[in-house]
């Protein structure tokens, strides 16, 4: 498995109809929404990035429910519910053939409009499980918010600096998360070793700082400490 894979990001940055904001912690199916975002990560990890005899088009995965369950720790019912949510969002297409499914990650092969999604470092050494997803209990608004923020950071990350620079209010615009709920979501991501939060100076005044979000397991030697001078005041 590669250090990172390409994840479509245009759909996450649609300011007119931000898809992540459609996922809300109300009613039934809340756990399915958490499962959906985790499953999306896994499907992107296992999508073919080169044409194959079976899949001439990029972006296809034929992961079984059993394999998805091993990687995420989710039950079959939650996998089914999560896939349904992704299909309704337009993030994937499910092609059913008999008792098996093939999954297409929409816009996977699109030139531009993609972000680097950490891959190998998220898994156990045998590549059988993702630590953070096995920590999910699928019962908390914080978990849903955290996975929303994680995908947004992937989508907004600046490749030159290895950071995503986005204020709490903008996070709310893209994800529908209330401002007061952003910090707990970030804390969950930090606890699960998915991101690191650094502080950077801004051009506003000498005392002004802002959060800078760096994905763990992605270009680990490229950060504020090694490229601070190049970053300058934000």
Q: If pLDDT is split at 50, 70 and 90, which confidence band does 231 have?
A: low
pLDDT of 218 above 90: yes
CA–CA separation, 75 vs 139, rounded Å? 14
For residue 26, report the phi and psi dihedrals to the nearest 5 degrees.
-140, 155
In the structure, what pLDDT confidence band is assigned to residue 85 with cuts at 50, 70 and 90?
Answer: very high
Work out the average pLDDT over 123-146.
98
What is the average pLDDT across 35-45?
A: 98
Q: Give the residue, 28 or 84, on which the prediction is more confident.
A: 84
Please give the domain boundaries of the chain with CATH numbers for all domains.
Answer: 4-231 (1.10.10.10)
Q: Are strands 209-215 and 195-201 parallel, antiparallel or unpaired?
A: antiparallel
What are the pLDDT digits (tens) for 164-217? 999 999 999 999 999 999 999 999 999 999 999 998 765 555 555 789 999 999
Q: Is pLDDT above 90 for 29? A: yes
The mean pLDDT of 13-17, rounded to a whole number, is 92
Secondary element (H or E) of residue 180: helix 179-191
The burial of 17, by beta-carbon neighbours within 10 Å (0-12 exposed, 13-18 middle, 19 or more buried), is given as: exposed
Could you tell me the pTM of the whole model?
Answer: 0.93
Task: Specify the DSSP element, H or E, that contains 92.
Answer: strand 92-97
Mean pLDDT of 91-96: 96
pLDDT (0 to 100) of residue 31 = 97
Q: What is the pLDDT of residue 226?
A: 64
The model's confidence at residue 26, banded by pLDDT at 50, 70 and 90, is very high
Rounded mean pLDDT of the chain?
92
Residue 208 is predicted with a pLDDT of 56
pLDDT band at residue 143 using 50, 70 and 90 as cut-offs: very high
User: Can you give the pLDDT at residue 16?
Assistant: 92
Strand segments, DSSP code E, in 23-85 are 60-61
Phi first, then psi: give them for residue 176, nearest 5 degrees: 80, 10
> For 95-132, how does the pLDDT look when each residue is reduced to its tens digit (9 = 90+)?
988 888 999 999 998 877 999 999 999 999 999 999 99
Least trusted range by pLDDT, from 46-60, 67-81, 167-181, 204-218: 204-218
Distance CA(146)–CA(183), nearest Å, equals 9
Which residues face 61 on adjacent strands?
A: 103
pLDDT score of 222: 77
């Amino acid at each position: 498995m590669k250090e990172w894979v390409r994840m479509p990001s245009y759909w996450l940055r649609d300011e007119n109809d931000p898809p992540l904001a459609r996922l809300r912690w109300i009613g039934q199916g809340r756990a399915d929404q958490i499962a959906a975002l985790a499953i999306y990560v896994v499907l992107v990890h296992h999508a073919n990035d080169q044409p194959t005899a079976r899949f001439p088009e990029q972006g296809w995965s034929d992961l079984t429910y059993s394999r998805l369950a091993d990687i995420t720790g989710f039950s079959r019912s939650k996998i089914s519910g999560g896939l349904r949510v992704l299909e309704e969002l337009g993030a994937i297409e499910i092609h059913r053939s008999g008792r098996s499914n093939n999954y297409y990650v929409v816009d996977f092969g699109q030139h531009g409009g993609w972000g680097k999604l950490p891959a190998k470092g998220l898994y156990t050494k045998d590549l059988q499980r993702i630590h953070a997803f096995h920590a999910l209990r699928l019962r908390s608004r914080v978990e849903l918010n955290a996975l929303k923020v994680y995908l947004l950071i992937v989508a907004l990350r600046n490749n030159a600096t290895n950071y995503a620079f986005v204020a709490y209010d903008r996070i709310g615009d893209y994800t529908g998360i209330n401002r007061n709920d952003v910090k707990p979501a970030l804390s969950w991501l930090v606890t699960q070793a998915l991101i690191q939060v650094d502080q950077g100076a801004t051009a506003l005044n000498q005392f002004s700082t802002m959060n800078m979000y760096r994905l763990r397991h992605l270009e680990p030697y490229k950060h504020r400490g090694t490229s601070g001078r190049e970053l300058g005041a934000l």
